[in-house]
A and B are shown apart, each in its own frame.
Chain A
Amino acid sequence: MAPKLDPMVGRYVRTDIEGVPHRLYFEEAGPADGIPLVCLHTAGADNRQFRHLLADAEITRRFRVLAFDLPWHGKSTPPEGWEKTEYRLTTQSYTAAIRAFCSALELDRPAVMGCSIGGRIVLNLAIAHAREFRALIALEAADFQQPWYDTAWLHRPDVHGGEVCAALISGLIAPQSPPVSRHETLWMYMQGGPGIFKGDLYFYRVDGDLREKVKGIDTKACPLYLLTGEYDFSCTSEDTTRTAAQIPGAYLQIMKELGHFPMSENPAKFREYILPVLAKIS
């Protein structure tokens, strides 16, 4: 019997980010001449969150879907000297990583879809680099969100980092999401490197405040789609609605029975919402 293979292929690409050599892991599926669609995972997670999208033939018929692990995440190799550094993601370093990946793969005006911190940075791409992209999709994104816990608990010697990260974010998953997908989403959080989720949230909480800045987004230069799950109490429906109201021409969709991880917590339900958006882009 033939082996049952998933359609995506994983590879490593070498590129410099802000002058530092990196080896980034990514997975891709779809035709080489398809519309490039770059997917950005949530804080403290990795590209596996997009595995259902990568395996969706209806999407990969038209799109070349690429999902990479941010530096320090998943299978991307942390940069030399990582052991002497406290990891902190910033607006600048995150933007540089995305642009470096797109450049290294020689992608022609890709569409970018990011979730959570990936959604927030998509807003920054819309603010600062709109003309480099053909469409931007921000999942669970807003210009600012009210913090709901102290990130100091995420990295300390007396609390298991993986377990506490997963337990904290577990409540952001909608109760309707299938248990198997819920627990697969949590498993990824249990596997993050020490302090990485916390370091990502530096961007989210401290450095990435986009209030006022989103008013400068020009959706004529690049269409912007905002989709948020109704059960996401981190980035609430109100947060995204408020953000969209400041951006003329932005597409807004509140997704029923979904939470903060739509593509991994309930792939079938998310598909109902993302297919119409991808149809507009293609």
Chain B
Amino acid sequence: MSPADRFARLPALYAADTDLIRRARGLDVECKVEIGAEPFFLSFRNGALAALDRGPKLMRSTTFTFRATDEAWQQHWKRVPEPGWHDLFALTKRGAASMEGDLRPLLQNLQFFKDLLALPREKA
């Protein structure tokens, strides 16, 4: 399964994580996550993942973007990631990921987004 295909399963993974949903209360944001070359548009409404739209969308506006290479996501989602691949900022520091836009909602909810983007990780 490609990294993008794995990420496409996010709505089901998120729906099953009641603790993560609890922590997202009050979150309203439109953001973009790029899995390699493939963009995903996420819409959060009061913590609920109202939409996950896959693929390019003409003139879609988002607050912030987090992107990483296919290799970075594959490494990050290993059951036990190797050193240097185990955190979003480890990825940005090594140049395998980047973030842009208005980062305020990301930083206001940083642990939430770290945990959200780790949901496709292989389970033990």
Contacts and interface: CB of A to CB of B under 8 A. Distances in A.
Interface stretch (B14-22, B46-54, B64-72, B80-88): B80-88
B123 interface: no
A76 B88 CA distance: 34
Q: Which 5 A-B pairs have the closest CB atoms?
A: A171-B87, A167-B110, A167-B111, A233-B90, A148-B93
A233 B87 CA distance: 9
Contact of B110 (A168, A174, A175, A233): A168
A31 to B, nearest CB: 39
A170 B104 contact: no
Contacts of B81: 175
B114 A167 contact: yes
A250 B87 CA distance: 30
13 contacts: A148-B92, A149-B89, A159-B108, A163-B110, A164-B108, A167-B114, A171-B87, A174-B86, A175-B81, A231-B83, A233-B84, A233-B89, A233-B94
B12 interface: no
Interface in A147-164: 148-149, 153, 158-160, 163-164
B107 interface: yes
Contacts of A236: 84
A151 to B, nearest CB: 12
B111 A159 contact: no
A69 interface: no
A153 B104 CA distance: 9
Nearest to A230: B83
B111 A170 contact: yes
A172 to B, nearest CB: 7
Contact of A171 (B80, B90, B104): B90
Interface residues of A, number: 23
B107 A175 contact: no
A164 B107 contact: yes
Given A148-B93, A158-B104, A159-B108, A176 B80 contact: yes
Interface in A230-264: 230-231, 233, 236-237
B111 A233 contact: no
A166 B111 contact: yes
B88 to A, nearest CB: 7
Contacts of A170: 87, 111, 114
A164 B113 CA distance: 12
Interface in A51-65: none
Contacts of A163: 110-111
B107 to A, nearest CB: 5
A85 interface: no
Contacts of B87: 170-172, 233
Given A176-B80, A233-B83, A171 B89 contact: yes
Contacts of A158: 104, 108
